[in-house]
Structure 1
Amino acid sequence: MADRADANMEHIDFEVRDIPLETVTSADGTTIAYQKSGTGPPVVIVGGGLNEKAMHAELAEGLSANFTVYNYDRRGRGGSGDTVADRYSVDREIEDLAAVIAATGGPSHVFANCTGGMIAVPAAARGVPIAKLAMYEPPFGGPKVPEGYLEELTTLLAADNRTEAVAMFLKWDALFTDDEVAFFQTHPIWPAFESMAPTMVYDSILSEDADALPTEQLAAITVPSLVLCGNDSIAWMIETCRALADAMPQGQLVSMASTGHLMDDTLGAEILTSFFLE
């Protein structure tokens, strides 16, 4: 497993860029923060679990040569606020994405990483003004977490045991190997993971609620759509990405060389630039 861990870990992107924060107010009053860079047609980046804008800095820089990039923090992360509810709802995050797109002047191209795709898919299906949609390995229909996982994660977070909670999330929800989790713990990204730990519950619920391919939603997405996967990824993930692309009227699949579940942002920027410009 060490070879596979190395293939994934070389693509970690974590760099705090000195770009001023701008904000927009979502429908429920939550402040959503983003960094804006580049010139050209708008592209909005939607992060996955334990992602905030610093995790997509390299991708944003690569895209900013041809686009105006809106790299935002999902609610509860980085510079964005949050509104506590009895239970997390993807509807609030769809509203957040719609608010950022409205700030671009819309419609906007959208790139969604991992569970960010579980926000972007229903958003596109509901008619949020997306020009083209691209996603990297949205884990629809992935393996089930152990019984009682979400309750244990919530208990750890309530006790402020973020180290153990993050490790458990990375293993069971993000499906990283023990070697990969150990690597993360030695990387400068780890404190950022712990700072975002309360939002892990959101992505756990997203994954839990998306236990099958959302075929009706996918069929309703009529804009050009691109699904990316890594050719070193787990077999079920590659098959899921293929099924996603096949289920969208204008869907296409691209497999990225020498890439696992962490996208190669340099190559990704090249592929996305070509797709969004064509």
Structure 2
Amino acid sequence: MDTVISKDGTQIAYKKQGSGPALIIVSSAAADHLEASQLAEHLTAQFTVYNYDRRGRGQSSDTAPYDVKREVEDIEALIEAAGGKACLFGSSSGAVLALEAANLLGDQIAKLYLYEPPFIINDSRKPVPVDYVQHLNSLIDDGKRSEAAEYFASEALGIPAEFIEYMKADPSWNKMETLAHTLAYDGLIMGTTQSGKPLPDSRWIIQAPTLIMTGENSEPLFHDAAHALVKLLPNAEFHTLSGQDHSAVVMAPDVLAKAVADFESGKLAYLSRSFADS
């Protein structure tokens, strides 16, 4: 993997592949660049893809104290390596980090592709606890990585306890434990947007063309969040991926990549804003 150095000296590792306009993949919580490797492969027909490990993950280093702006600076360093302008693709909490980057970096962002930002804006799901980040950090400080991963799965993902026990028996749980110290990072990125209250009107001032996607089979909260966000962004459109759910980055990367490529080329038959407003 290649590397860039962020403003605070953090080394950010990335894999570059493909040809065409630059697109940076921003991973979700508890994921490194490997989760999006198949998506990256599918996108290479249309883009020069920069698939990177967020700070504290994989082959990237980390620098304390954490601040969301430092993660935006990581993306900015990748954009500079890409020639000064790039599209961003973000999934789940990574979509919210991509939003923050677009808000701060302005014209450096050509387009935004967002898959299921996990905002909780109504009573479709219980809010994340107010002390969520503090509790995660406390568990990590005590060396309780598995407990931190379990708390994330329960409170942030809303997974019932009986299913978490099945998850803990899967080898992928080990990876979640390895990345557990970064779960609080995504909690800070989400801020108060998982509190059950409407999205703030003025948090993101973004002019870049934006495609907001959800899976047809995903929970109502993701559809509600997407509809709310598309109303706030002046150049946003909404699209549903038939038959998909929140796992589409891993389970249906070809479907996601086609939607991104079609939007890039202007061929996507997206749902109209009038539908999103209904």
Q: TM-score range by the shorter chain?
A: 0.7 to 0.9
Identical positions, percent: 35
Q: Secondary structure, in 3 states, of the residue corresponding to 1:135?
A: strand
> CA shift at 1:33, angstroms?
0.7
TM-score, normalised with respect to structure 1? 0.85
Residue in 2 that maps onto 1:58: 38
Residue in 1 that maps onto 2:61: 81
Q: How does 1:42-57 map to 2 (within 5 A)?
A: 42-57=22-37
* Range that drifts further, 258-267 or 138-147: 138-147
| Cα distance between partner residues in 2 of 1:92 and 1:64 | 27
Structure 1 residues 151, 249: CA separation in 2 closer, same or farther (over 3 Å shift)? Answer: closer
> CA shift at 1:177, angstroms?
3.8
Structure 1: stretches of 5+ with no match in the other structure: 1-20
| Cα distance between partner residues in 1 of 2:82 and 2:163 | 36
* Range that drifts further, 150-159 or 123-132: 150-159
TM-score, normalised with respect to structure 2? 0.85
> CA shift at 1:60, angstroms?
0.5
1:210 maps to amino acid: T
Instruction: Determine whether 1:134 maps to 2:117.
Output: no
- Correspondence for 2:164 among 181, 192, 204: 181
| Cα distance between partner residues in 2 of 1:204 and 1:42 | 28
Q: Secondary structure, in 3 states, of the residue corresponding to 1:210?
A: coil
Q: Secondary structure, in 3 states, of the residue corresponding to 1:78?
A: coil
| Cα distance between partner residues in 1 of 2:140 and 2:160 | 22
Higher relative contact order (CA 8 A, sep 6+): 1
The Cα RMSD (Å) is 1.9
Residue in 1 that maps onto 2:247: 262
Counterpart contact for 1:46–1:113, Cα < 8 Å? yes
> CA shift at 1:73, angstroms?
0.8
- Correspondence for 2:12 among 10, 19, 32: 32
> CA shift at 1:38, angstroms?
1.3
1:146-187: CA deviation from partner (whole Å, max 9, x where unpaired): 354433322221222211211111121123344553443333
> CA shift at 1:59, angstroms?
0.5
Counterpart contact for 2:12–2:54, Cα < 8 Å? yes
How many pairs are equivalent? Answer: 255
Residue in 2 that maps onto 1:13: none
Residue in 2 that maps onto 1:118: 96
